[in-house]
Structure 1
């Protein structure tokens, strides 16, 4: 390509100042290496071209494409890659099809704003009307004619085109611009283009352009690519940092930094803020502080209306203070910016594994993003940048942003691949593979929505959903709404849910006749605004955009015969709208914790709270019992309790019968100490209702009863039968004092075996207490072992009076017999058990049943102590029998028997 041909395109570009020479860097093997030299390629001598850093790389790009290679271009902002490369391709044969015909060039941008602004600039440089040679295609907005060769489009529109035309038959070259953003759609598009190029279209040229990514990994991934690098501009940007990390609100920090920025540079000031809310608060703070002066304070973000975006980007003689999200980081160029104030923050969408919901959270930007933002001040001349964080913290930030595929919801990509014929997303060529749990979660959702079957094959429903320019959920919503006969209302609702709402949530009325559905309320208000029946102040441009999007959705929407017609005389079929939403959000069903409560629990167990601005939060007392269920549509999961900002009340009768389970569920009630049975209805894992039913023994109830009883056996032993605990202690006594007997221990394991048997036919502690514990415990020993226990550790022993006295066994204590002193007359020595190894501890009781002496040596007691005890007892109980010689006296049961003989 000649320098004159390039000059025709580049000569219209603004004067850019003196630039350094560009360089071309080699990557990955000799085949991929290329460096510019005057002997290999024609030297470009046009003075206007030499002012563009990218100009020195153009011949290398075209030569690589001519050899059938892909190109990975690294060129910083300001190098002219978005403008220069497409123009060079237009005037070359590098985009020709294999048949020799000129092919279309697709310039793919990650954002609508960038695609539109790039197309407008390229059309101006080509001195043609937008929509002729150069056009654009973004969601619900298209300016493309029959003669259009260069189309700037969003990544989403490229994916849509790949669905409709998998071979891209009339496309000669695809340029993926701003690839360093590593959006999920961008990675998906790269993989799909690689599949097409390697399998079916080896004549399809690919150019991957990035501001910060190193080309080497992408070159290696593509396999047949060359890496080319341009150094870009060298205008100095003086960067200063805050002395410490402020805890003040971000708008106050900007107000503090702005006066110095206005003094030290004469150009426009670009302020990077994390979101629209921060932008609006900062504008209010600047105006309240009187800092604007002669400057025009303007807002810039992705959802701004196109005409408003154009006013921000357009050249102006008035100085601007532009408050922007990260959309101005790489996607658009704003001429005349020489000052940047960087908050160092951005809103990032991440899927939160803990709550099972996507969460938009404010995070610190990476070092690469900070460099990008600062570079915006040095595009045309030296500039200044003020960072609102200390320099010491700059080094702690991540070097680059993580690819979106590692943190975002994967369901949209999975549906795209399924509709494209890919059954397993993990087998797809990814530059960065997605997380396996993210892939599994995406397919579970698609199966829940009916988009794929159990084998991950796309269904008829999935094909209809994939044809919609919407997320899988909203696509499912449109399909269901079409079948319910409310396609128009649903299209308006989908537009509301995808575009920025024009309504202030706190000012919405709650008494509209739309049921308890926030979406139906907004749809009705939009219709009232159109008809002049609403007294609500809203941005007219935003309302116009929503209607425009809704009209496009109706045009593209699924065409099928509705199952039913809209009820006559109903302006908004709120119930039908809610039913269609239920089909799209079945995993967002929630149940109120109590009738009329704003708190609830959602499928998955997440606690939620309805925002006070939601109509579902305001339920009439008479309706409280019928308003148990609601659908969570817009959820902020940042708190301990997810805030539901938009919801709709639903009827349990609308739930899919296939997903409603009846479970007879036993549970142990601590108060009644019994297993109770409740019949429960579940939607997924969400409890819808429960009612008590009779509990009969079952394996489940037996396990519950066992688990509770095993915590403390004493709670289920018969309270009136100490023999049960006594048997346990007797066996433990013999294990300790006569281990040679070989008795197996009656420990917790053996007791639990018996307990488990008893629980099989019982459901309460009361029934366990009346169970034949002693028989079952003894039955765990054989006959010989039972006889050994009875002989060596008897329960009772006969004393000289003829009575049988109980022997008490306790852990870590000697066996005890409590007996009246008079019943032992004639016993010469203490009886022993456990084969004569252990003497009984005798508690010798007086007539008052209180121990008069405790001994395990009865002979010694008779010999040394009895006389003293006898004297005291005779004094206190003179009518009782107290012989002088206890060994020769006859034992008595009541202590009175032989007193007459003694008198005689």
Structure 2
């Protein structure tokens, strides 16, 4: 036990002991029993408690029971928060059994679409979403005396949001509201730091588990075969080497069904009972899985069996190492379940399930060397999940800035921005980020904000019943047999309606179909309740609507729920399109959108270059909200024409709907486009078309380098770019830019005295003894060069120098053939030591040219011939 205060535990030992002998004598031996006095003592002083106890220690059942029997929440309800529906129902049943009460009386539960409680309920087990919606209506939880956040290590976004709101309530108006945080693998240090502002310091309590050794096996190498094949190949070893039940962890329901089918078809476990365990199981099916059996069992489970429920009798675990995790996909703007490797901590949790009651064994279907490469812990959901529902909840609480909210782990800035953008598009918040009337109704619907908006829109269009079925299809497990799923949502709804009307329908999974019906009915009731709560009038009887009209109204409603997933075909008959946001999409062949150019992407798999659209709905352009439409005259660069051209484009958000050509006239926007595409090739074509301008630039830079005292304005690349932008203001083509008066614009950056200094210290030409003005070539990083006929320099005794005499000109002395015969920066030395040999050679080859013996007194000639 950690904390700033030494607790007097004796005061509460008798209260703790009263819990240990209810209707389950074995509860006395549960490890958490030893720390109950410390917990009761802390709660009695309103100190937050952080309890770390391994799975099977009894924390979920004994801690809330001890609080009730000690009378520490006599004036209010105790709310136990479980992150999963299956675990919440199971915990409520277990606690009711231990207290000898009927479920729904003193002990009850409430999860999405399922409530078993009464006004007499003192201990209510809920999922985080239920408590969050209760907080939206009762921000102070006035009838609650204690909140227990169980399995907090799962760190769902809803759990983090709940913790922040409870902390806000405790630190402002209700410091007496008790808080207990429980987990199997939690590091208490961050929570102790987070809760340190409490009026009474938090304490951390830890109890040791009661477990047996587990022998862990790894596969020798990574297998490329399907998961279900690896499982059935491992099962015989697990059954032969252990004597208890076998728990198999699989990523999802699909894998569970396929493994079950293989076990049955191959006769691997004919003498064993094979059970399935996943979140959508009915309460009865859940009870059957968790109940003891006369036969050895093989339990095929998702990660709900990792920590949330206890399965007695398990001595073998087969771990595939995978889980489906809810992750926000920014590319398609929706959360989706993605299969990913589990963390090392999760693997330890899973293996530990084999050592609860006896020594056990665990088979990990991955190589041992790769285990270290797995992340040590799972990433908190707030760092990977869609934030839109949380942002809507914060708006309901009046939290204007999500970053001012007390977060254990703050959300990413981009996640908050995306969430606010989506809620604005859905009409849930206004420009001040306040919840709108539509947003208030959306908040009461226990579905994603998109689906909530869809339901409200469909109700306005009088197709709420069809929409409720569609919403259930979008949020629940599919009721259709794999390979027989109707291609569009409207067809799926119609098929299910036929089943609900007791018409013969094939290829449906009965249990999943009944779940769809139950969820749809619940959504309809909540939708009606939210309408009456908002003060809307009863709509009365609705006239029958034709099937085609119903489909159109559903598609209109879907558009309001997915405005950022509108897509447009790339061409008339193409299966490819472009979605709002710029993501490329490709429709599967089964999508029925006909010849429609526009469609809404409902179910998207973001894999590969183009996202695959598994379900889409055709829409019409005149359905699009004018609030997000705009017509823009846009210039853009055409590389074929090497020119900026203009188009008039009609946009929905950033999706181009139509475009038509326009006359392109010079403008700042055109100039920006032209300059952008001219920059990479600027020096190349200036060397071809603007040699005088290039020469001027190099002369200026020469003077600036050798004579900084000349104090010339800079003519660096930024200055050149300024001239480029200036010239682009009145032009639209690269050709017109190439022939523009670059030299004049460059010189205009200098006043007359500066130009004189440039001409003086870096002259463009130099007059030689022959009378010719010879061009000087300047290159950055090289000496200035003057290529001149040898005969034109007769009479010059020294090498000419520029830049106030600091820099000699490199002379390229040309023969009659125009080729350099000698390169020299010391003309006097050339005349004295080298000229005689050069004269001898050239006089023989070019006898008509002037080759005097003494070049210092000879007459210079322009053409190189002998003077007349």
Q: Fold match, TM over 0.5?
A: yes
The answer to whether the 8 Å contact 1:599/1:609 transfers is yes
- 1:671 corresponds to which residue? 640
Alignment of 1:258 with 2:235, yes or no, is yes
Q: Distance in 2 between matches of 1:746 and 1:447?
A: 49
Deviation, 1:829, is: 8.7
Match for 1:239 among 215, 225, 246? 215
The 5-angstrom pairing of residues 340-419 of structure 1 reads: 340-351=317-328, 358=335, 360-390=337-367, 394=371, 397-419=374-396
RMSD value over aligned CA atoms? 4.7
TM normalised by structure 2 equals: 0.82
Q: Distance in 1 between matches of 2:811 and 2:20?
A: 119
Q: Distance in 2 between matches of 1:770 and 1:564?
A: 76
Q: Distance in 2 between matches of 1:871 and 1:451?
A: 97
- 1:4 corresponds to which residue? none
Match for 2:495 among 525, 528, 531? 525
- Aligned pairs, how many? 836
- 1:546 corresponds to which residue? 516
The answer to whether the 8 Å contact 1:489/1:572 transfers is no
Match for 2:118 among 134, 137, 145? 145
Match for 1:50 among 21, 25, 28? 28
Deviation, 1:871, is: 6.7
- 1:765 corresponds to which residue? 734
The answer to whether the 8 Å contact 1:484/1:565 transfers is no
Alignment of 1:443 with 2:416, yes or no, is no
CA shift in 2, pair 1:40/1:688, >3 Å? closer
- 1:692 corresponds to which residue? 661
Q: Distance in 2 between matches of 1:656 and 1:54?
A: 58
What secondary structure, in the 3-state scheme, does the structure 2 residue paired with 1:213 have?
coil
Deviation, 1:806, is: 8.5
CA shift in 2, pair 1:571/1:151, >3 Å? farther
Q: Distance in 1 between matches of 2:482 and 2:573?
A: 21
CA shift in 2, pair 1:598/1:53, >3 Å? same
Q: Any idea what the Cα deviations from partners look like across 1:715-759, whole Å, max 9, x if unmatched?
A: 666978976667667878999999999998987666555444332
Q: Any idea what the Cα deviations from partners look like across 1:488-529, whole Å, max 9, x if unmatched?
A: 22211111111111125643344xxxxxxx322321221233
CA shift in 2, pair 1:508/1:865, >3 Å? same
Q: Distance in 1 between matches of 2:649 and 2:38?
A: 70
Deviation, 1:542, is: 1.0
The answer to whether the 8 Å contact 2:160/2:407 transfers is yes
Q: Distance in 2 between matches of 1:233 and 1:293?
A: 33
CA shift in 2, pair 1:180/1:782, >3 Å? closer
The answer to whether the 8 Å contact 1:270/1:339 transfers is yes
CA shift in 2, pair 1:589/1:292, >3 Å? same
Q: Any idea what the Cα deviations from partners look like across 1:341-390, whole Å, max 9, x if unmatched?
A: 22233222233567765453333433443333233234344433333345
Q: Distance in 2 between matches of 1:817 and 1:203?
A: 99
Deviation, 1:246, is: 2.5
- 2:313 corresponds to which residue? 336
Match for 1:194 among 160, 167, 172? 167
Bigger Rg, which one: 1
Q: Distance in 2 between matches of 1:309 and 1:385?
A: 24
CA shift in 2, pair 1:313/1:734, >3 Å? closer
What secondary structure, in the 3-state scheme, does the structure 1 residue paired with 2:363 have?
strand
Deviation, 1:659, is: 2.1
- 2:627 corresponds to which residue? 658
Q: Any idea what the Cα deviations from partners look like across 1:17-75, whole Å, max 9, x if unmatched?
A: xxxxxxxxx22122557478979976888565534444444455445444444544333
Q: Distance in 2 between matches of 1:733 and 1:230?
A: 80
The answer to whether the 8 Å contact 1:107/1:151 transfers is yes
The answer to whether the 8 Å contact 2:322/2:340 transfers is yes
What secondary structure, in the 3-state scheme, does the structure 2 residue paired with 1:117 have?
helix
The answer to whether the 8 Å contact 1:793/1:833 transfers is no
- 1:569 corresponds to which residue? 546
Alignment of 1:82 with 2:60, yes or no, is yes
Q: Any idea what the Cα deviations from partners look like across 1:92-151, whole Å, max 9, x if unmatched?
A: 523211xxxxx4333322111122223334444555544344332211122223443333
CA shift in 2, pair 1:667/1:76, >3 Å? same
Q: Any idea what the Cα deviations from partners look like across 1:680-722, whole Å, max 9, x if unmatched?
A: 3333333333332111111222233334444445666697897
Match for 2:138 among 149, 158, 165? 165
Q: Any idea what the Cα deviations from partners look like across 1:329-350, whole Å, max 9, x if unmatched?
A: 1222223323222223322223
- 1:536 corresponds to which residue? 506
Match for 1:210 among 183, 187, 210? 183
- Larger mean Cα displacement after TM superposition, 339-348 or 40-49: 40-49
- 2:670 corresponds to which residue? 701
Deviation, 1:321, is: 0.9
Deviation, 1:533, is: 5.5
Q: Distance in 1 between matches of 2:18 and 2:65?
A: 18
CA shift in 2, pair 1:713/1:567, >3 Å? farther
Q: Distance in 1 between matches of 2:767 and 2:584?
A: 65
Q: Distance in 2 between matches of 1:679 and 1:758?
A: 25
Deviation, 1:537, is: 0.9
The answer to whether the 8 Å contact 1:347/1:362 transfers is yes
The answer to whether the 8 Å contact 2:219/2:364 transfers is no
Q: Any idea what the Cα deviations from partners look like across 1:617-665, whole Å, max 9, x if unmatched?
A: xx4xxx2xx41x3323233335454333332233333332222233322
Which consecutive residues of structure 2, in runs of 5 or more, have no partner in the other structure?
A: 850-856
CA shift in 2, pair 1:509/1:155, >3 Å? closer
The answer to whether the 8 Å contact 1:68/1:203 transfers is yes
Q: Any idea what the Cα deviations from partners look like across 1:779-821, whole Å, max 9, x if unmatched?
A: 5565577678889967798999x9x9996857578545799x9
Q: Distance in 2 between matches of 1:573 and 1:816?
A: 87
CA shift in 2, pair 1:844/1:829, >3 Å? farther
CA shift in 2, pair 1:697/1:294, >3 Å? same
Alignment of 1:300 with 2:277, yes or no, is yes
The answer to whether the 8 Å contact 2:468/2:521 transfers is yes
CA shift in 2, pair 1:442/1:223, >3 Å? farther
The answer to whether the 8 Å contact 1:733/1:809 transfers is no
TM normalised by structure 1 equals: 0.79
The answer to whether the 8 Å contact 2:19/2:69 transfers is no
Q: Distance in 2 between matches of 1:789 and 1:173?
A: 85
Q: Distance in 1 between matches of 2:432 and 2:160?
A: 24
- 1:428 corresponds to which residue? 405
Q: Distance in 2 between matches of 1:737 and 1:126?
A: 96
Deviation, 1:326, is: 0.9
Q: Distance in 1 between matches of 2:413 and 2:58?
A: 39
What secondary structure, in the 3-state scheme, does the structure 2 residue paired with 1:375 have?
helix
Q: Distance in 1 between matches of 2:286 and 2:587?
A: 34
Deviation, 1:463, is: 1.3
